[in-house]
Amino acid sequence: MKLSVIGCGYLGAVHAAAMAKLGHEVVGIDTDAEKIAKLAAGSAPFHEPGLQELLADGIAAGRLRFTTDITEAADARVHFVAVGTPQLADGDGADLRYVHGAIESLRPVLRPGALVVGKSTVPVGTAAVLVDRIAETGASLAWNPEFLREGFAVADTLTPDRIVYGVVDDADAGLLDEVYRAALEAGTPRIVTDLATAELVKTAANAFLATKISFINAMAEIAEVTGADVTTLADAIGHDARIGRRFLNAGIGFGGGCLPKDIRAFTARAEELGRAESVAFLRQVDAINLRRRERVVEHAIELLGGSVFTRRIAVLGLTFKPDSDDIRDSPALDVAARLYGLGADVVATDPHGIDNSRAKHPQLEYVADVGDALRGAELAVLVTEWAAYRELDPRRTAELMAVPRIIDARNALDPASWKAAGFEYRGLGRS
């Protein structure tokens, strides 16, 4: 089927390439000419495992192309809208200007019978406002939220754990079934519902995930004052299948382009709906999460005897999670910048996050090699659990550093072996 994907960022570029892999004829459209030039040349504009190969295959097969020209979407039967919905600059709500912009630019090229499919994460009620604008063209609107995780985006798109469509007309579900035939034939659960429920499914899923992380981080706060170990606690409660061990890793907390802004947008939307109290707990979820960053800085001050001023600190990790170059609302980069702000001599490293970090925080010193970051440091702070940092050898690390001290802000290391190598070790919610 001929498809267009409007917005080719972390979500849209992967979606476009994955749809081409499934045999569809796809045009990816973005207003960012630089991004489109890279994509058209088969080069991934951001780090996402497997994307480069998928792009190259799709382009070589003649099923995938990229352009800034919206008129090239005209002959597509289904148009996916995957533009950003960031937090408003002056509030907690979602900034919907890109969604409205994309819909308005698409309207003149829509043909009767075409289907516009929202994939962006939007506040419940957004699609209802757009339905009539689309219907005027003879096309229709559906909402098909996306649940991919960065770092696993290719696999999550090709083999999702569920597919959700919000539709006005059941025939539109049939069209989407054709798009997703491969996943559906493989038995992927499919939920067909109304527009509001589809929008809310996405918001609720991210609110739940954020709550789960903040729950375990709240337990870490209690563990810190009682001498309990939050990792053992998570293992123990996680054996209860009703709770589950996944997303119970205490540490520096959640960041990224989704969970933080999505819980804030949900809070803002609930307030508009007169139901602020229903999700008031999300304010606490956010507050617990942000306190974890402060706690890492407090640990650094304590370990360095009361001040980080002029002290050399190696910050290991900059991205919001491993296997991504995304630094949006990254706890790791935030901690690096806070330590720098307190006068520390920060040297930061990351396998894929340095370029994006430098653009946002040019004042920090960056080195590509973790050994160079550690050399001569009085403290190391592991803030993003890249495999390369998880696998660091404690004895060799101690040899590189001026003083063997480490804050394991992701609880990613084995405390016993680091202590045995002479390290003063601090985890979060465990010692």
Ligand X SMILES: NC(=O)c1ccc[n+]([C@@H]2O[C@H](COP(=O)([O-])OP(=O)(O)OC[C@H]3O[C@@H](n4cnc5c(N)ncnc54)[C@H](O)[C@@H]3O)[C@@H](O)[C@H]2O)c1
CA-CA distances (angstroms) from residue 348 to 309, 314, 355, 370? 16, 6, 12, 9
* Cβ at position 170, least distance to ligand UPG in Å: 26
x/- mask, ligand X, residues 2-41, rule CB under 6 A, reads: ----xxxxxxx----------------xxxx--x------
Q: Which does 102 bind (CB under 5 to 8 A by kind): ligand X, ligand UPG, none?
A: ligand X
Which of the residues are catalytic?
258
Q: Which does 9 bind (CB under 5 to 8 A by kind): ligand X, ligand UPG, none?
A: ligand X
Residue with Cβ nearer ligand UPG (324 or 397): 324
* Cβ at position 421, least distance to ligand UPG in Å: 26
* Cβ at position 261, least distance to ligand X in Å: 7
CA-CA distances (angstroms) from residue 351 to 234, 313, 354? 29, 18, 7
Residue in 150, 199, 325, 334 binding ligand UPG, rule: CB under 6 A: 150
Q: Does 102 bind ligand X (CB under 6 A)?
A: yes
Residue in 109, 127, 209, 333 binding ligand UPG, rule: CB under 6 A: 209
Residue in 2, 52, 56, 101 binding ligand X, rule: CB under 6 A: 101
Give, as ranges, the residues between 257 and 316 that touch ligand UPG (CB under 6 A): 258-259
Q: Which does 83 bind (CB under 5 to 8 A by kind): ligand UPG, ligand X, none?
A: ligand X
* Cβ at position 27, least distance to ligand UPG in Å: 24
x/- mask, ligand X, residues 110-129, rule CB under 6 A, reads: ----------xx--------
x/- mask, ligand X, residues 257-276, rule CB under 6 A, reads: xx------------------
Q: Does 319 bind ligand UPG (CB under 6 A)?
A: no
Residue with Cβ nearer ligand UPG (295 or 321): 321
Residue with Cβ nearer ligand UPG (259 or 348): 259
Q: The tokens of 23 are what? A: 């045999």
Residue with Cβ nearer ligand X (70 or 401): 70
Residue in 110, 154, 175, 213 binding ligand UPG, rule: CB under 6 A: 213
Binding residues (CB under 6 A) for ligand X: these are: 6-12, 29-32, 35, 82-85, 98, 101-102, 105, 120-121, 146, 148, 150, 257-258
Binding residues (CB under 6 A) for ligand UPG: these are: 121, 146-150, 206, 209, 213, 247-249, 251, 253-256, 258-259, 320-321
